[in-house]
Amino acid sequence: MSSEKTSNRTFKQYGADGLEQSLPAGKQTEDLKLIKKLCKKSDKILDLACGYGRLTISLSKLGYNILGMDLSPTLIKAAKRKAKNKNIKTQFDLGNMLRLPYKNNSFDKVICFWTSFNHLLTKIEQIKALNEIFRILRSHGLAFIETFNGEAKPLKEHLKQEGYGPEKRLAKIRFYKKNSFVKGVYYFHDRKSLLAICKASKFEHYKIGCKNISGERRLTASLYK
């Protein structure tokens, strides 16, 4: 199963409008509040898997030194259009988490929010992505990843009934878009499994935990170079 093909197919169907409509109430505000605690305006920041630019554009407007990268041509096109409409000058790049188009030691901070990391469908890909993040981070840099919490009761029940693949961590979720549904495939971690891929990566220092974001318990990883 190709994560790249699966993700591109999903987001071509879903589009920026579908993503924007599915954003939980309050999440944008709480994500920005969290990022302001993690990052300084002087940091060079990569919004990894930036989607339609919801965080990149908002943080650029606030004066942060941030650029966005995403796998989906559909979403990058939408991000550039939204930035232009808001008269925000920021950089958006097309790229793959497994082959980041940046030189070693390029960023002080890397952020990866919402469902982005869940689209890497194998542990091998996830570890490779972490190693790529490690490569582009500067010394004393920080990467922060936020994902679905596979320990949440509804998700545990969903995985029990419909999960497949190694450890039954892969599952499809339907998202409503206007008068139809779009299915996406996701890999769901719990704290133990997320810790395992961090241990297998080049990072030596990391912290796994959960945070309440817009009324939802989210799984997080802070990785330090």
Q: How many domains does the chain have?
A: 1
Return the pLDDT at 20: 83
- Helix, strand, or coil here: 118? helix
168 within some domain: no
Nearest one of 174, 51, 65 to 113, comparing CA atoms: 51
* Mean per-residue pLDDT over the chain, rounded: 92
212 within some domain: yes
Q: What is the DSSP letter of 2?
A: -
For the stretch 43-55, pLDDT in tens is 999 999 999 999 9
What is the rounded CA–CA span in Å between residue 105 and residue 139?
Answer: 7
Res 14 pLDDT > 70: no
Look up the domain containing 114 and give its range.
Answer: 3-151+190-224
210 within some domain: yes
48 within some domain: yes
Half-sphere CA count of 196, side-chain side, radius 13 A = 8
For the stretch 164-195, pLDDT in tens is 998 999 998 876 555 555 678 899 999 999 99
Question: Which residues, including other chains, have CB under 8 Å from residue 112's CB and lie 6 or more apart?
Answer: 48, 49, 133, 143, 144, 145, 146
For the stretch 96-111, pLDDT in tens is 999 999 999 999 999 9
Query: In Å, what is the CA distance from 27 to each residue of 20, 30, 113, 177?
Result: 11, 5, 10, 19
163 within some domain: no
Q: Are 184 and 173 in contact (CB under 8 A)?
A: yes
8 within some domain: yes
103 within some domain: yes
Residue 101's domain is classified under what CATH number? 3.40.50.150
pLDDT interval class at 214 (50, 70, 90): confident
For the stretch 20-72, pLDDT in tens is 887 888 999 999 999 999 999 999 999 999 999 999 999 999 999 999 999 99
**What is the model's pTM?**
0.94
171 within some domain: no
Return the pLDDT at 104: 98
